[in-house]
Homo-oligomer: A and B are copies of this chain.
Amino acid sequence: MSNDYLSQMATDIQVARQQATFPVEELTKTLYGGELILHVVQKLRAIMDKEPLLDRSQTNYMNREQMLHYSLVVHKRLMELVDEEDLSDLEFQGLVLLSELMSPLGLHYSAFIPVLQSQGTDEQVAKWVEPAKKLAIMGCYAQTELGHGSNVQGLRTTATLDTNTDEFIVHSPDLTAAKWWIGGLGIAATHCVLQAQLIIDGKSYGPHIFVVPVRSPVDRKPLQGVTVGDIGPKAYGGFSTVDNGFALFDHVRIPRENMLMRFAQVTRNGEYIRPVHDKLSYGSMVKLRVGMVADAGIKLGKAATIAIRYCTVRRQFHDTATKDGSKKDKLEQQVISYSSVKHRLFPLVAVSYALLFAGQSVGADFEKMTKQLLNQDASMLPEMHITTCSLKVWCTRRSTDGQEECRKAMGGHGYSQFSGVGQLFATAVPSNTYEGDNYVLCQQVGRALLKQLQVVSDGTKIESSNASYLNLLLSDIPHTPYKLNNPYHDILDPKIQENIFGLRAARLVADLGKQMKSGRPWSDVNMECWNVCFAHAEYNLVRQFNQRVAAVSAKTPSLAKAITQLANLFAISIITQSSMATFLSTGTLQSTDLDGIQAQFRQLLDQVAENAVPLTDAFGFTDRELTSALGSYDGRSYERLWEAVQKNPLNNEAGRKEIDAVLFDLLHHGNNLTLSSKL
């Protein structure tokens, strides 16, 4: 078998790497927040690369039972590695993260234990956390019910105090109160921390958290009064290794001490003691959303890496510019050179970078806030809440839409499981609806910004830095386009970008205020809130990206040009692609500005084209992490596809015994064999 075409693919990716106009390792260091962290990550990656068990491509041919089993075996192996490689607790967490292990035990670590730690008294922490860390008990966090998700106050599971026995009676009044979607509950959990309406003497005190045993750690059978199980497969084959579960409670009795009482308490004689601070549980919600920003960036970065590598080595159609007889001797065009592919993929690389940078920045803010909260200072909380809500909405939507666009940009082969992108999207896409449905969160952003608008409308400058653009309204003559003398050049100025994005956001908030004043009810302006939320997020993302570029460029001048191009591509692609409508409809830009901005956009795409592969290499994803035949580092997509197919059990007779039987039945029916014998 000749392999000129195949070796050309490896050549193409090498050539693309050699074009880099910046030092890739320097950018990687920046992305990982410094040499120290990068070093740890590289150490963990090396450990994992030695483990054949961690090659997730073997799950391609597994059914759900096998996948769940596989994920638990992997988890066990990771625990062994802690001893073998003498890893710290933090390194173990890094291992779980980098292995992308989602197992029935994932939420045990990320929710069950943290909730115990943050909501339990010192005695409760002492009692539960150590056994949990040793997996003597396995836990989950049971909040969502069949009938209630977004509306947490409406949860219907009850925990009623029985002062006679000093117990709570946990009960699900009907099917709608069944806990549902709870990761870890389906198969693994022996215990859950459960949100239930606290009821004392017939009076409800709202949702509180209780530790409720559900299965015996000895024989793993459900405890009396508990009906528990797995809720079945998820859409797109996502989260197959997680046992999202359900539970119904029929008057299940737990000791009063199983209520987590760090904040609110219930005494032996049934007295309810309110928490000192209402907002302290708030912080953990913010924390979850902080983590989602970088995660969305990583997932989109992986999809973009795969798509850009594959489109670099895939060639299709001869360049129509040369119509001479020599056509056949020439190589076909690289798919990455098509303008539609550039328009679709390169802005997504910029989005990945924007989200990774924003994730770091919002993470730092969160740490600052956490320290302040310890000193009873909750001043950062309202703004952090809005910032993280708007970022969560933006990053989950843009990242998952972008992942699917990457898959489409790979054409037919993108639809193979072996592209690896389908699996990313399948697991990422529910982030649009979990940790706060995006449309619900937008309303919170809208409501908060309306409050700030009120301040500005009263003629006062606001201090909030993330919504400071509202101050532009103090001098804004409505519907005057932002004055661009030379759109092609001006649009590259960070200050001008900030002004344009700020003005648009301000006008959308002002319009929301106007709509409310005109008498439209709050429930009618969901979509206005959606636009406001996106504009708010985009203002902050553009501003932060530019600030980060300035800082990085000062520190590492060799990166300046490449990341400046990327930041500009990010800002301008928002104007020319996803959000053009609101820039024009708010009168921030006028249609005559667009020619110049579009021309600059194309110019940037061509500049970024030189660095496309290096910019995705800089993410540092290993082949193991990408689990993609099409996006392997060496560019040998077709050979990798071929290898993946060889493992297909359907290609062995044993794997299709029953199938073959039906086919034989049909082929040998009646006088069919006589008919086919001549063909």
Contacts and interface: CB of A to CB of B under 8 A. Distances in A.
A530 to B, nearest CB: 7
A530 B666 contact: no
A18 to B, nearest CB: 23
Contact of A416 (B72, B144, B232, B425): B232
Contacts of A527: 339-340, 343
Contact of A339 (B232, B526, B645, B670): B526
Chain A's interface size range is 35 or more
Q: Quick one: copies of this chain in the complex?
A: 2
A667 interface: yes
Nearest to A580: B581
A333 B524 CA distance: 13
Given A3-B175, A76-B665, A673-B218, A638 B147 contact: yes
A666 B76 contact: yes
A658 B433 CA distance: 33
A656 B234 contact: no
B591 A523 contact: no
Interface in A219-235: 220, 229-235
Given A213-B679, A524-B602, A416 B5 contact: no
Contact of A238 (B173, B318, B415): B415
B146 A675 contact: no
A151 interface: yes
Given A602-B524, A639-B175, A667 B135 contact: yes
A316 B655 contact: no
A535 to B, nearest CB: 15
A591 B602 contact: no
Given A217-B676, A319-B523, 14 more contacts: A6-B176, A65-B650, A65-B658, A128-B679, A131-B675, A131-B679, A134-B669, A151-B332, A187-B656, A187-B659, A233-B416, A234-B415, A235-B415, A586-B591
A472 interface: no
A525 interface: yes
A130 interface: yes
Contacts of A439: 338, 340-341
Interface stretch (A27-35, A406-414, A563-571): A406-414
Contacts of A217: 667, 672-673, 676-677, 679
Contacts of A547: none
A68 interface: yes
Interface string A366-408: 0000000000000000000000000000000000000010011
A672 B137 CA distance: 8
Interface in A74-133: 76, 104, 127-128, 130-131
Nearest to A127: B679
Given A175-B639, A659-B68, A530 B340 contact: yes
Residue from the set A340, A587, A644, A645 with the largest chain B CB neighbour count within 10 Å: A340
A174 interface: yes
A442 B339 CA distance: 13
A232 B417 contact: yes
Contacts of A269: none
Contacts of A586: 591
Nearest to A216: B676
A60 B677 CA distance: 39
Contacts of A61: 64, 232-233
A585 interface: yes
Interface string A624-660: 0000000000000011011011001111000110111
Contacts of A64: 61, 650
A128 B174 CA distance: 62
Interface string A313-352: 0011111110000000000110001111101000000000
Given A317-B151, A658-B69, A673 B235 contact: no
Given A3-B174, A60-B232, A638-B175, A190 B525 contact: no
A43 interface: no
Interface string A56-71: 0000110111001100
Contact of A433 (B130, B146, B174, B412): B412
- Secondary structure type dominating chain A contacts: helix
Interface in A189-206: 190-191
Contacts of A137: 667, 675-676, 679
Interface in A137-181: 137-138, 144, 146-151, 154, 173-176, 178, 181
18 contacts: A72-B659, A130-B675, A134-B670, A135-B666, A154-B318, A175-B639, A220-B663, A230-B650, A232-B418, A235-B426, A333-B523, A339-B524, A340-B442, A404-B404, A408-B433, A414-B433, A584-B591, A585-B591
Contacts of A276: none
Nearest to A156: B5
A223 B479 CA distance: 73
A154 B433 contact: no
Contact of A337 (B315, B411, B523, B675): B523
Interface string A423-439: 10110011011100111
A442 B338 CA distance: 13
Nearest to A344: B439
Contacts of A524: 339, 602
Given A135-B669, A337-B523, A232 B645 contact: yes
Q: Which residue, of A64, A341, A425, has the highest number of chain B Cβ atoms within 10 A?
A: A64
A245 to B, nearest CB: 9
Contacts of A181: 412
B412 A175 contact: no
A530 B340 CA distance: 9
A462 interface: no
A272 interface: no
A246 interface: yes
A550 interface: no
A422 interface: yes
A506 interface: no
A356 interface: no
Contacts of A659: 65, 68-69, 72, 187
